[in-house]
Amino acid sequence: MALHGGAIIDTAKDYSLEIEHMRELVEVARTRLDQGEAAASIAAAIVHEMEMSGLYVAGRGASPNDEGLYELDAALMDGTTARIGAVAALQNFKSPVEVARAVMESSPHVFFAGAGAAAFARRSGLEPVPDDNWYTHVGSGRSASGFGSRPFGTVGCVVLDRYGGLASATSTAGIFGKQAGRVGDSPVPGAGTWADRFCAVSCTGHGEFFIRTAAAVQVAHRLHYAGQGLNDAAVAVLREVEDLGGSGGLIAIDVAGRIAMPFISAGMKRAALFSDGSVSVNVR
């Protein structure tokens, strides 16, 4: 499995807390995998932990849009069943990925936005945010000229389970200073999140460019239809993002357990548990 805590722009920041946290989460995932839990359930659980930590720009660590509102996006996709649940511009719920999971598991629809997403979450009995003080707003205080120079903090997780099932989950508050109602790539099936029988992908970076390149599903299609290897496919997709002027990175895992974690930003908070049991955790 692999996880990410967002692409990095800020080269000076100390990420030791995030590194420690990501290392812990890899061990949580290892235990769940050993216990035979399915990929989608593990991906959602790991992203939920990242949301609750307040260390990333997702869930508790979210930052507000340009109107001061917290509008959060998330998606969960199960590659075995091709089921997906997504929410965009969700307000006032603690765990967007849990809402996405409820959409995937118990709705005839796949994607809810805005007030409809919140109404669905309410109907599903999911936990609301107590008040605006809930958010730790990890991005605050980092001045920058335009979102292009600010850090990203989306979180994501891709998992291959012991049955050969693949899944991907992604959650975010989006890019800093985004306009009200803006939706990035993270919840968009095939853009920021994708899983099928061949691979699972979760992206981070300038979402507009990942939508324009259908980044996540493009990795899968390069594997399946063009016969490319996972890393080559992932790097080629990021080259397209870069050619359009975007930056960021992605994590991907294929059905053979190969993992790719390329980025075209200054870094990407990321961790992986490889099929031989070894672990890597890096930010640059």
Residue 154 binds to ligand ASP (criterion: CB under 6 A) = yes
Residue 175 binds to ligand ASP (criterion: CB under 6 A) = yes
Whether 154 sits among the annotated catalytic residues: the reply is yes
Indicate the residue among 85 and 184 with the shorter CB distance to ligand ASP: 184
Beta-bridge partner residues of 278: none
- Which residue type sits at 216? A
Give the total of residues touching ligand ASP (CB under 6 A): 18
Residue 224, classified by CB atoms within 10 Å of its CB into exposed (0-12), middle (13-18) or buried (19+), is middle
The H or E element containing residue 253 is strand 248-254
Indicate the residue among 101 and 178 with the shorter CB distance to ligand ASP: 178
Judged by CB under 6 A, the residue of 207, 246, 262, 267 near ligand ASP is 207
Q: Describe the crossing of helices 39-53 and 16-34 by its angle, rounded to 10 degrees.
A: 150
Residue 139 binds to ligand ASP (criterion: CB under 6 A) = no
Half-sphere exposure of 19 (CA within 13 A, CB side): 10
Residue 71 binds to ligand ASP (criterion: CB under 6 A) = no
Task: Specify the stretch interacting with ligand ASP by CB under 6 A; choose among 36-44, 103-111, 148-156, 231-239.
Answer: 148-156
Helix, strand, coil % in the chain, rounded to nearest 5: 35, 25, 40
Active site residues: 154
Give the interface with ligand ASP as residue ranges (CB under 6 A): 6-7, 57, 152-154, 172, 174-175, 184-186, 192, 204-207, 248
